[in-house]
Chains A and B, each alone.
Chain A
Amino acid sequence: MEEKVDVGKVARAAKVRLDAAEAARFSWEIEGILENFQKLGEVDVEGIEPSFNPLRAKAELREDVPAPFDFDPFANARFVFKRKIVGPKVLGE
């Protein structure tokens, strides 16, 4: 079954600006990809649990103890003010 994708809407959610030519091309390509992915529907997955990790894993957590960075986390940030990274404004969208 053909899957229609509103690429413009998805791209806005993904925070990637596309021009009109890119949006048209990606629509065509992504629909082609999804058409090929429809065959996953042939697999009987009734009662099967999803594998989020390919092996059984036990969550191992470190002790929750504050420790200094052993490297400078600001080393690659260009816009820093008083040891804080300056980002774009979040109000007024």
Chain B
Amino acid sequence: MSGPEPAASFARRAARGEVSIEESVAKTLEECEKTDSRLACFNTICGEPALSRARALDGLAKEGKAAGRLFGVPVSVKDNICTKGVRTTAGSAIISDYVPPMSATAVERIEAEGGIVVGKTAMDEFGFGGFCVNVGKGFRVPRNPLDEKRVTGGSSGGCGAVTAALAAAGIPHASLAESTGGSITSPACFCGVVGITPTYGRVSRWGLIDFASSLDKIGSIGANVEDAALLLEAAQGADARDMTSRPEPAGPLADAARGLGKRFRLGVPKEFFEGVDPRVSDLVWGAVKKLEAEGSEVGEVSLPTAKYAVPAYYLIAVSEASTNLARFNGTRFGLQREPEQAFGEYFSEIRAEGFGDEAKRRVILGTFARMAGYRGKYYLRAMKVRTRIIAEFARAFEKYDALVAPSMPILPPTFEEVSGLAPHEAYALDLCTTPPNIAGIPHASVPAGMAGGLPAGAQVMCAHLQERRVVEVASALEAVSK
């Protein structure tokens, strides 16, 4: 796949007035509608608002006032990231009619750089899933553009599907996604595109509908490393409205995707290959060996606590989710009725009506893990295991520039295969994505090749705040995997 024009190049031409942004957005919207009717990857398509903004940007270009790294670039946004005046649902029936009165900081920054929001993408309810089949009541399950019998990956499944579909149609575009435990890597891998999850706090969470506050990270999905890096570059940076956002300077990223030819010290963590489909392992090792042949140093590394990342992650995530979801009680927004019952009964009934199965399961599990008598055994122990995982990564990064592992342990499964999994079996498939997410380190998923017509992904992980290094290594892997 040669792919569409890089977003940065398109933005420069649009700013010079060499392309009609209105025509480009109209074509993008038409393709979004076609893609959505086939793949169900949008919850909302922003037709007229996007065209209106496109006309305004065309006007600026004519006046010579155009500016911005994403000038005229169509951007889709995961539906748990608030967009002023555009319905934002987090894929849940309990807020299916919520129209935010403000945009998330990340969206404001993308629009300030000239990006145009064309739609809000399908997702697992509140991000509760790795396959994008746990959508809320009344929402549609998206399908993989590479094979419609297969899942997109999740929870940012719509972001992955629309990015792959628009790339195949030759349309410049990037998608603002979000990961808590692998929700960028999974759909990027299964849809054969690139996803970058930054360091925890690198992108402001203000305006994000929280799942787990110490794990949630807004990131990007693009047709290639450069596009994903460009979108992340525009969205990142400290924000006074989010006290967990990082104060360290956030520098350019997209240009790092163009500086090929570098050599790296690459560690391959052996625990990430245990139980992985051999076809995936072979493709990831094949890409690593190519970089070694080009001069990079490669060594095996052990992260012994990484195999405990799945239970530690889920205990932290559900504990935080059970408190974050307390706000959905049928009073200030979303599903509401005349509040005639007593509060306990009213809250319990409206939440039963508005939450899907996985949301109920996680709220109950999280409430249990925080209860008196269990908090130390589950929640606090998980937080201590997290400390060990962070320390093991830090030690590995003293020796290596980056770690490379499979993104997902399997090729994209069919809907039938996923439907047969018990919840704990589905959670276990997050074995490669939970370690970097629980540690809050930046990482990317890059296509590593195809097996039987299905994509496998290589995951690049670097030390905290080393997004630029992630982009460099991901670009090198992208180049050798084409």
Task: Give chain A's interface residues, CB within 8 Å of chain B.
Answer: 5, 7, 10-18, 22, 26, 29-30, 32-37, 39-43, 45, 48-55, 57-62, 70-73, 75-79, 85-93
Contact = CB atoms under 8 A, between A and B. Distances in A.
Given A16-B348, A50-B387, A51-B386, A11 B364 contact: yes
Interface stretch (B60-68, B238-246, B270-278, B295-303): B238-246
B214 interface: yes
A76 B333 contact: yes
B71 interface: no
Interface string B322-339: 100010010111101011
A48 B388 contact: yes
Contacts of B8: none
Contacts of B246: 55
A33 B423 contact: yes
Interface residues of B, number: 73
Interface stretch (B112-120, B147-155, B223-231, B374-382): B374-382
Given A5-B368, A10-B371, 12 more contacts: A15-B348, A34-B365, A36-B311, A36-B424, A37-B315, A43-B388, A48-B384, A50-B387, A53-B200, A76-B332, A76-B333, A76-B334
B415 interface: no
Nearest to A31: B424
B305 A43 contact: yes
A15 B347 contact: yes
B331 A85 contact: yes
A76 B468 CA distance: 40
Contact of B343 (A34, A37, A76, A88): A88
A18 B339 contact: no
Nearest to A80: B332
B397 interface: no
A86 B214 CA distance: 32
Interface string B349-381: 101100100001101111110010000001011
Contacts of B285: none
Interface of B: 84, 98-99, 101-102, 199-201, 214, 240, 243-244, 246-247, 305, 308, 311-312, 314-315, 322, 326, 329, 331-334, 336, 338-349, 351-352, 355, 360-361, 363-368, 371, 378, 380-388, 390, 422-424, 427-428, 438-441, 464
A40 B312 contact: yes
Given A52-B214, A54-B386, A87-B331, A71 B102 contact: yes
7 contacts: A36-B427, A41-B381, A57-B201, A62-B240, A85-B331, A87-B331, A88-B346
B214 A14 contact: no
Contact of A17 (B243, B343, B352): B352
Contacts of A29: 361, 422-424
A12 to B, nearest CB: 7
A93 B385 contact: no
A55 B333 CA distance: 33
Nearest to A25: B357
